[in-house]
Structure 1
């Protein structure tokens, strides 16, 4: 078996996961909305205080408060308007909408039902109320389904991740790869489907049981030996720790099963488990810690008779923190440690990596009334030292890989469900062994549908 083939399946699996993680997910982590105290907001607030009985000034302040993100301030102003004049169905509709945005569905429902029962409420107002009530009923169901489908095409300058110069080491002797194993450009078509089921265990409590299924597949135009199929299922409870606390602590233990096939032949099967702890450190900062354990079981084949040498336990620890700077910019810093134990010591390794990312939201360049566009950039630095030398490659040199991974993603919402996505990516790997050095550039174009 070619030394190059020994490394192909792991790289392809990482490539598939990168598409799912980097594109299929939004990438721009959210946090609670920031209040932007504009001069207009301050002026409207002062005008309202100077004439508290003037409904026009109170409504003007509420409008500026909504624009600034001060939803609680807008609620207080509008409720004071109803105290002065209870017969204002449009104000009741606005209050219901604000409570809906704040997640207080029962308070929102109360206002909407008041409008619905008002014979003097305009027809267009009642129509909006019906839509809100239907959405509240949907969100309060004990069984909820959601998901995404992302599909497109991808071009790579080095689709088979071959060594950079075509020269490899075989038992310590430099050898030139056969042309079929050298760097190849190629296109592929891919699709990633994710479906999530959430079960509200107790309607009066925030705890849920969440199950997610992810399926990914890519098919190359020419390099069929690197076609990838991946499936994963996770299931477990999502538990609020001390509900109502300022940090919104959530603990989620879960079980998982992962299946990966290369060229329609099983690469590995891995049952496992994990747990995550997330917290809102302040209204603009989210932190998350995740640990996972997998029992990877590889399958030998005629072309890869020693693949089971990589059988073993994989343990991973990941941490990330997301900070919203303002309504346009958010930053993301993460790190990971991954320990791979294997049957053959030469295949065992320990990867440590860090990632820095930023998401910039800006007005549509086509139509200012359309949803805002998002540009996401990230850079990852990873180091992977192996345990012992592999005698089939070089008995005197232990493998040590160093990676740079760059990506730039542009997300263009077409409407509330569909998003067009373009991504540029570059991976640069240097290694103590020439077999594993490579560079790959990739362009991905696709569309995402959320349901």
Structure 2
């Protein structure tokens, strides 16, 4: 006897807990990794010696012997920059100001380095100094003016940013179907129809994000709004084609006024809408709160909470979707360790309560995650841009309130999930990057139809402006 599984709802993404849109559409990835600005001083150190400790030590000894040699200083700073040690590069070039005050090239390189560190005021001071020097070369002006425009935009009371991403993805199990030919329902074995079993497929996707903030000029407080959109089109399984849109608006309050330095409280309202195969599927307004604080310069703590009322819409392919309608309450915590600008680790714990009209869809879940980011000098090419490698692992336990009579009259559904992802961001310019990713998801369930695994591979291009 043939049987088809009931379509599953979009799954919460374990990799972007703060984005309900990405959670709703199940987009897994490191799409938040941003391109890194191009670095200074290309091709000033032989390729075979670049990024090696021995080369830096040799140049350092030469600098100590010839402290006024500008060429040695520039070569050492370029090598330190390529190795990601921006502080060492800055210290070297600032020391050279003693011997060459007002040199346009020196001011330019220092401005670029401070820009990469995010120290906008220092960067602006040095870049303006480069323009004020005598006989400034045209190539220096061409580099300085765009940077000054970006700094002015960042220091403005109002800021906005847009990121657009397009890509392709292949999955081994698009429909989250089991691999077995037969399943057991209420102690009776059934033969699965091919449409209910694991089906591989390719898809194209596009996403966009617009962020806007306005500084209230009141001790660091600001208003924020965000708009996210996601669309995917599958090669053959069009019932999984997705269009999703989320908007949020709120305020971020600096808690320094309460003697809580480097701490912030964020509150916002949001609304999420999802279409599946062109038909309305989900509408979910919500309230969100977040608290972040720096325990010390290396350790950072994040706490979050959300409430959403999820309204599911019935359709031809999903005639019982409204049985999932109900509130969602979520709490999460995340601890990050950042020993340097190029490396970070995190671990997170999250819990959710889903209440549904049908009690066999009501459930509790708990999730444990860990991962990290590593930014390193590009192993190919002559520029000093940093590549970003990201990795994440997680475990999720989901327990339902009542047995689903379609599957079992006595046993509640219990799912255990593990997931892993590995991503690489490779900048190709100041505002463009390639995003590479592979991910794996395994779900073990006491309901045979909910037992599956899926491997995904994706490649995308991201542009920010």
Scaled to the shorter chain, the TM-score interval is 0.7 to 0.9
Q: CA deviation at 1:104?
A: 5.0
1:141 to 142, 145, 156: 156
Candidates 302, 316, 333, aligned match of 1:288:
302
Q: 1:51-130, aligned counterparts within 5 Å?
A: 60=73, 63=77, 67=81, 87-93=102-108, 96-97=111-112, 100-101=115-116, 103-106=118-121, 108-119=123-134, 121-130=136-145
- Deviation, 1:352, is 0.6
Which range moves more in the overlay, 427-436 or 283-292?
283-292
Partners of 1:136 and 1:223 in 2: how far apart? 46
Q: Distance in 2 between matches of 1:55 and 1:148?
A: 44
Q: Using the TM superposition, give the Cα deviation of residue 85 of structure 1 relative to its aligned residue in structure 2, in angstroms.
A: 7.4
With over 3 angstroms needed to count, the CA separation of the structure-2 counterparts of 1:170 and 1:80, relative to structure 1, is closer
Q: Take 2:379 and 2:106, find their aligned partners in 1: how far apart are those partners?
A: 34
Residue in 2 that maps onto 1:190: 205
Maintained 8 Å contact 1:161/1:440: yes
Residue segments in structure 1 that go unaligned for 5+ positions in a row: 29-37
The answer to whether 1:131 aligns with 2:146 is yes
The answer as to whether partners of 2:30 and 2:390 remain within 8 angstroms in 1 is no
Q: 1:56–1:271: structure 2 CA closer, same or farther, 3 Å change rule?
A: same
Residue 240 of structure 2 is matched in structure 1 by: 226
Aligned to 2:49: none
State whether residues 44 and 64 of structure 1, in contact with CA within 8 Å, keep that contact through their aligned partners in structure 2.
Answer: no
Residues 397, 277 of structure 1: alpha-carbon distance in 2 compared, 3 angstrom cutoff? same
Matched residue, 2:338: 324
Per the alignment, residue 164 of structure 1 pairs with 179
Query: Which position in structure 2 is the counterpart of 1:153?
Result: 168
Q: Which residue of 2 aligns with 1:8?
A: 8
Partner SS for 1:391 = coil
Deviates more, 1:180-189 or 1:378-387: 180-189
Shift of 1:269: 0.5
Q: Counterpart of 1:116 in 2: which secondary structure? A: helix
Q: Write the mapping of 1:354-393 to structure 2, written as runs, cut at 5 A.
A: 354-369=368-383, 371-393=385-407
Give the alignment partner of residue 25 of structure 1, picking from 19, 28, 32: 32
Aligned residue in 2 for 1:447: 461
Q: Which stretch of structure 1 is more off in the superposition, 308-317 or 133-142?
A: 133-142
Which range moves more in the overlay, 189-198 or 166-175?
Answer: 166-175
- In structure 2, C-alpha distance between the alignment counterparts of 1:301 and 1:77, rounded to whole Å: 66
Q: Which has the higher contact order (CA 8 A, sep 6+)?
A: 2
Match of residue 259 from structure 1: 273
Matching residue of 1:33: none
Q: Distance in 1 between matches of 2:84 and 2:12?
A: 44
* Count of matched residue positions in the alignment of Structure 1 and Structure 2: 439
Where do 5+ consecutive residues of structure 2 fail to align?
Answer: 16-21, 36-52
Per-residue deviation at 1:330? 2.8
| Paired residues of 1:381 and 1:404 also in contact (CA < 8 A) | yes
- Change in 2 beyond 3 A, CA 1:64/1:185: closer
User: 1:144, 1:151 → 2: CA distance?
Assistant: 24
Q: 1:236 to 1:166 in 2, by over 3 A?
A: farther
* 1:282 match: secondary structure: coil
In 1, distance between residues paired with 2:34 and 2:299?
A: 15
Provide the residue aligned with 1:419 in structure 2: 433
Deviation at 1:81, TM superposition (A): 6.7
How many angstroms does 1:198 deviate by? Answer: 1.9
Shift in Å, 1:358: 2.8
SS in 1 for 2:9: helix
Deviations along 1:134-182, one digit per CA (max 9) or x if unpaired, are 2222212233221222222211221111123143444553322222222
TM-score, normalisation: structure 1 = 0.82
> What SS does the aligned partner of 2:318 have?
coil
What are the Cα deviations for residues 44-99 of structure 1, in whole angstroms up to 9, with x where unaligned? 69x88x99xx7559x95994997598877877887787678765455544555555
Secondary structure of 1:242 counterpart: helix
**Aligned position for 2:50:** none
Q: Does 1:398 align with 2:405?
A: no
TM-score by length of 2: 0.80
Moved more, 148-157 or 251-260: 148-157
Match of 1:297 in 2: 311
Cα offset for 1:282?
A: 3.0
Deviations 1:298-324 (A, max 9, x none): 112344332212111111122222223
Preserved contact between residue 418 and residue 448 of structure 1 (Cα < 8 Å): yes
Name the Cα RMSD after superposition: 3.8
